[in-house]
Amino acid sequence: MKHLVIATLVAVLSAPSVHAVENGKHLFILSGQSNMAGLNPDISFTPTVEAEFGKENVTVVKDALGGQPIRRWYKKWKPAEGYDPEQTGYPLYKGGRGPGDLYDRLMEKVNEATAGNEYATVSLVWMQGEKDAKESHGEVYAASMKGLIKQLSDDLGRGDINFVLGRLSDFDMANEKYPHWTVVREALVEVAEADPRGAWINTDDLNDGLNKKGRNIKNDLHMSVEGYKTMGKRFADKAIELIEAGGASVEAHPVVRLWTIEQIGGEQNRLKEEPEIRGEGKTTYRNIKDPNLTVSQVESSKPTPAVVYCPGGAYKQVSVLQDYIDWLNGMGITVFTLKYTVPNDRDAAFRDVQRAMRLVRYQAEKWNVDPDQLGVVGSSAGGHLVLRLSQNYTSAAYPAFDDADKLDCQPAFVVTASAAYLFKSKSDPTLVDEFPMKGKIAPTFMVCAMDDKSHGAGSVVYEKALRAAGGTTKIIISETGGHGLKEVEWHPECRAWLKGLGVGITGDKQ
């Protein structure tokens, strides 16, 4: 019966394109445990999506069961290495409940509700994770969630499924009864933010007030009556946003956070930054509290070179230049743009770039990059930052806290443009102590303009010192161009230099 259901679904759901949104039908699959079980879609979710797309164009299917772990949906679920169900008191399976049995139940409902229809879009709406937090399965929750989404995509025969995840509320973040509550919360957000077809909703404010039994609750495991109503509306709004983004959402760039919520000072700082568009191709970010990487990935059948790109901004802001990203992508290089801590904390920025390098190497397979061809590119203050990294990669800037931190943060190559802050002061043109010129220093390419009065000479002195210390270097010195290197044609020479190092350059971008 199960295989027949899936085969029917593929025929029904895989035919239309995601671009057929305007006049197409939309399927919403709602599932999870008790807080999804307590959600009545007819109160706010269904009316919201019907108002947007028309009642005749909406199908909502819900199947949820309280107190259930994700393994009852995800068929390839595995516990963390060393997990002992006897010691924890939580048997993995009991009473004939095999892996994925609730998924099969859900899919039978979907099959029945969708028979004879074609759908422009399919959206999974998911509220679950409390049981996994209680059973200490937080370490594998992100992988399980991704696996479940892929399982659904494969079974429906389409790779364009949108999904909206409800982050666990603030119910039990500090309670030993649910030791992995925060871990699961973060995993849900991580999965949603890493996928252009994903989104998540906050539920921290939904578990206060009168519950369905008329009892006044505060930070409860379950939502209040008004909380469920609001939750349905939030789920619907996010699902609509993803659908209306349509094919354009595929172009969105995943964001990888560097640190845990506790390390950045709490939930209020999550991805907190102040962006400002400063003209075509330039966006400036201020007051970055949650340093992160934006991934601009190139398509390739084999692992590609990659760089962590550190923009400039005088350590007061981070000014991302799209030209750099386009140039690097055009050579077949995946770019991880680092928005590091600002303002005015160079040591925090140094911690960020070390962590960024390790995370990229740790996630190399995910992003299809070659960890041995991971370099750094920096302009202005970002140039100073990547040079500091190249000479101090063995100096631990922060205590290791996960498996990523077991990896090396040494760059394979370094490219700087108008690197700043290389001298001790304007009156003392000697290199700062951060550049001892010792140990193995990555091959370094530099470009500067001599009419960059504040910083131009610094690159010249640095390159000379590195070359004298036995380093591999190349420098382009322009008489004019200023700090912004206006009309300085240095990209072709940098491309040739990278190819000479053996970096796997592709494409025809100069």
Shared-domain flag, residues 20 and 120: yes
Asked whether residue 259 is domain-assigned, the answer is: no
Between CA 288 and CA 306 the distance in angstroms is 24
Shared-domain flag, residues 238 and 363: no
Shared-domain flag, residues 200 and 323: no
Tokens read off for 335: 């770019």
Domain containing 377 — which CATH number? 3.40.50.1820
Shared-domain flag, residues 387 and 247: no
Q: Report the pLDDT value the prediction gives residue 20, as an integer from 0 to 100.
A: 33
Between CA 447 and CA 456 the distance in angstroms is 9
- Could you list the pLDDT tens digit for every one of the 510 residues in the chain? 333 344 334 434 443 333 334 447 899 999 999 999 999 999 999 999 999 989 999 999 999 999 999 999 999 998 887 766 655 555 565 655 668 899 999 999 999 998 878 888 999 999 999 999 988 888 999 999 999 999 999 888 888 899 999 999 888 766 677 788 989 999 999 999 988 899 999 998 898 888 888 888 887 888 899 999 999 999 999 999 999 886 433 345 788 899 988 899 887 787 788 888 877 789 999 999 999 999 999 989 999 999 999 999 999 999 999 999 999 999 999 999 999 999 999 999 999 999 999 999 999 998 999 999 999 999 999 999 999 999 999 999 999 999 999 999 999 999 999 999 999 887 788 999 999 998 899 999 999 999 998 899 999 999 999 999 999 999 999 999 999 998 899 999 999 999 999 998 886 555
Asked whether residue 267 is domain-assigned, the answer is: no
Beta strands per DSSP E along 25-105: 26-32, 58-64
According to the 3-state scheme, what is the secondary structure of 107-130? HHHHHHHHCCCCCCEEEEEEECCH
Q: Report the pLDDT value the prediction gives residue 91, as an integer from 0 to 100.
A: 58
Shared-domain flag, residues 245 and 285: no
Tell me whether residue 363 is exposed, middle or buried, using C-beta atoms within 10 angstroms of its C-beta: 0 to 12, 13 to 18, 19 or more. middle
Tokens read off for 372: 């041995």
Asked whether residue 509 is domain-assigned, the answer is: no
Residue in 65, 63, 66, 29 with CA at minimum distance from that of residue 221: 66
Q: Which domain holds residue 132?
A: 2-252
- State which of 252, 285, 300 marks the end of a domain: 252
Between CA 467 and CA 447 the distance in angstroms is 15
DSSP label at residue 57: G
Q: Are strands 292-296 and 255-257 parallel, antiparallel or unpaired?
A: antiparallel
Amino acid residing at 194: A
Shared-domain flag, residues 153 and 296: no
Q: Are strands 428-431 and 423-425 parallel, antiparallel or unpaired?
A: antiparallel
Query: Which residues contact residue 412 at a Cβ distance below 8 angstroms, ignoring those fewer than 6 apart?
Result: 372, 373, 374, 375, 442, 503
Shared-domain flag, residues 308 and 163: no
Shared-domain flag, residues 345 and 474: yes
| Overall number of domains in the chain | 2
Residue in 375, 416, 335 with CA at minimum distance from that of residue 503: 375
Asked whether residue 260 is domain-assigned, the answer is: no
pTM to 2 decimal places? 0.58
Asked whether residue 262 is domain-assigned, the answer is: no
Query: What residue has token string 């008191």?
Result: 89
Shared-domain flag, residues 25 and 167: yes
Shared-domain flag, residues 282 and 179: no
Domain containing 233 — which CATH number? 3.40.50.1110
